[in-house]
Amino acid sequence: MEYVICEYEKVKESFPEFGAVMQNLRTQLIAKATQDWAGKTYGGMYPKSGQFGIGTIIPSLFRNMANVTLTDWEQWLTATGNQTVMSGANVGNIYEDYKIGICGLAFLSKATRISEIKMQISDKKLPRMNIEEAMVYNKPAIVWENAFLLDEETGFHLYAYVQSQGPQMIKLIGAQVNRVPNKLQVSNTGAALT
């Protein structure tokens, strides 16, 4: 698994291939949704009836280390050592009617409290990544050369080696599609209707 570590604010500048990775991610997501959601067409960011929409990944599709649904990307790391720091919000799975493409993650806190990460998508375990180098960056981002698709009702777990307790903002980089246009709550920004 190929990846680049760089400053989050400079992903486009330091990793020019990022645009191609994101375009490929969008293409894969749209193709998968069109195939799986028969009768639905792509409606972009403003879908209408009979269309599915696309947008940035919302935190409420995931749970934090304490197994609480995220309302934003910030969480409190309560234990050190090998820990599950993020999982799908529907008992470890991605909610039905959502498909997510991730091509990286960013640590947006001043202190990076994690030295190693690994992911599991369904029964596929991805290799460990030593990210100690990220600790020298202000807001490090890890961008993969190839995106990963998290299908609806598929398990997702992000494991990490946590070096110290405290606040940590871990943001997934990518996009999501949602099958039902009004399934994203407009009264509670960032909340998903389940």
Pairing state between β 166-178 and 51-55:
antiparallel
> Quick one: which of 71, 85, 67, 72 has its CA closest to 166?
85
SS3 sequence, 42-80? ECCCCCCCCEEEEECCCHHHEECCCCCECCCCEEEECCC
- Flag the least confident range among 3-17, 46-60, 119-133, 138-152: 3-17
Q: Is the pLDDT of residue 185 over 50?
A: no
**pLDDT (tens digit, 9 = 90+) per residue, 70-98?**
999 999 999 999 999 999 999 889 999 99
Strand partners, 144: 3
Instruction: Examine the pLDDT at 105 and tell me if it is beyond 70.
Output: yes
Amino acid 94: pLDDT: 95
Amino acid at 58: I
Helix, strand, or coil (residue 157): strand
Q: Which residues contact 5 (CB under 8 A, 6 or more apart)?
A: 131, 133, 134, 137, 140, 141, 142
